[in-house]
């Protein structure tokens, strides 16, 4: 940063390591262990504003898989995730802030899969997590696939998701503007329900196959990280909102090959 020139500088040092082990007890049972560690260090400035951040992350999973037969399977285990984050943001010579978060969670999970030949498959899962900031929370999920005929496939999914949001790390590109920042919380947990329906139909048409696909997905937030740049042209207002927020996605698609080498 200097008084007469505007510059942007970003330097990132990152190290990743991981390990995967598998233990096969029989054709039906096995155990998997996966661990990872990440070191991420970033130095940057945008004009006279600076952002420096360091993160240490680890992830550990122990997964037990048991397949009774082709119709029933169980996956269960324990896992832990940790993020140790330190940030320093300087908006001006007299306006500098330091933030630190140790975000550690550990939990149990289980998932049951049921398959009925090629017509029906159901996946039901449940997680129970403890977090040092957000206490205990439950994460359910359900996936369903049903094929009433060989040419028709129906899929349905619903599940809940949690995520820790980092205001500055995820939005530091906004430091390049001349706006002033107003931040209530630098860190917080986002919560959302995700659900959707997908229908695929195959139709024999003029000697080839026409594929029709229609899908609808919705994300309903219960808490969301928001970066408001519309409230004021001179402000960035960052906060975690409990207000109603959602996203709807609808897509209809058709795919057909009228002759060899041509696809529409």
Question: For 162-213, how does the pLDDT look when each residue is reduced to its tens digit (9 = 90+)?
Answer: 999 999 999 888 898 888 999 888 899 999 999 999 999 999 988 889 999 9
Positive or negative, the CA dihedral 162, 168, 173, 177 is positive
Structure confidence at residue 243 (pLDDT): 84
Record the tokens describing residue 33, joined without a space: 């262990």
**Can you say whether residue 60 is alpha, beta or left, with left for phi > 0 and alpha for psi between -120 and 50 degrees?**
beta
Sequence-ordered list of residues with C-beta below 8 angstroms from that of 219, at least 6 positions apart, any chain: 192, 193, 194, 246, 247
Rounded CA-CA distance 194/8 in Å is 37
Q: Please, which residues have CB within 8 angstroms of residue 213's CB and are 6 or more apart in sequence?
A: 198, 199, 200, 201, 251, 252, 253, 254, 255
**pLDDT surpasses 90 at 4:** no
Give the residue with greater pLDDT, 245 vs 37.
Answer: 37
Is the pLDDT confidence value at 34 over 80? yes
pLDDT band at 1 (very low <50, low <70, confident <90, very high): low
Task: Return the H-helix or E-strand segment holding 169.
Answer: helix 167-171
- DSSP symbol at 67: E
User: Of 53, 39, 59, 4, whose CA–CA distance to 172 is shortest?
Assistant: 53
Give whole-number Cα distances, 91 to 59, 83, 175, in Å: 33, 25, 8
pLDDT of residue 156: 98
Beta pairing, strands 72-92 & 235-241? unpaired
Structure tokens at 222: 């219960």
Task: Determine the pLDDT at residue 256.
Answer: 95
Q: How confident is the model at residue 2 (pLDDT cuts 50, 70, 90)?
A: low
Q: What is the mean pLDDT of residues 233-248?
A: 90
Angstrom distance (rounded) from CA 43 to CA 16: 18
Q: What is the Cα–Cα distance from 78 to 174, expressed in whole angstroms?
A: 38
Residue 172: DSSP 8-state: G
């Amino acid at each position: 940063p200097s008084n007469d020139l505007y510059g942007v500088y970003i330097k990132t040092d990152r190290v990743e390591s991981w390990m995967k082990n598998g233990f096969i007890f029989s054709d039906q049972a096995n155990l998997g262990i996966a661990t990872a560690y990440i070191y991420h260090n970033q130095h940057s400035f945008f004009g006279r504003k600076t952002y420096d951040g360091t993160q240490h992350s680890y992830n550990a999973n122990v997964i037990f898989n048991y397949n009774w037969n082709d119709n029933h399977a169980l996956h269960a285990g324990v896992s832990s995730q940790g993020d140790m984050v330190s940030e320093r943001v300087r908006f001006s010579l007299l306006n500098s802030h330091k933030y630190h978060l140790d975000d550690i969670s550990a939990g149990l999970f289980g998932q049951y899969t049921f398959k009925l030949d090629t017509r029906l498959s159901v996946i039901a899962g449940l997680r129970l997590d403890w977090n040092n900031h957000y206490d205990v929370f439950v994460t359910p999920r359900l996936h369903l696939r049903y094929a009433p005929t060989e040419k028709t496939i129906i899929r349905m999914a619903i599940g809940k998701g949690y995520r820790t949001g980092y205001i500055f790390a995820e939005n530091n590109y906004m430091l390049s503007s001349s706006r002033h920042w107003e931040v209530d919380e630098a860190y917080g947990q986002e919560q959302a329900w995700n659900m959707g329906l997908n229908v695929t139909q195959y139709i024999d048409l003029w000697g080839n196959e026409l594929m029709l696909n229609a899908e609808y997905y919705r994300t309903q937030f219960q808490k969301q990280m928001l970066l408001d740049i519309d409230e004021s042209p001179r402000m960035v207002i960052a906060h975690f909102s409990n207000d109603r927020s959602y996203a709807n996605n609808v897509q209809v698609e058709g795919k057909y090959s009228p002759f060899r080498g041509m696809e529409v």
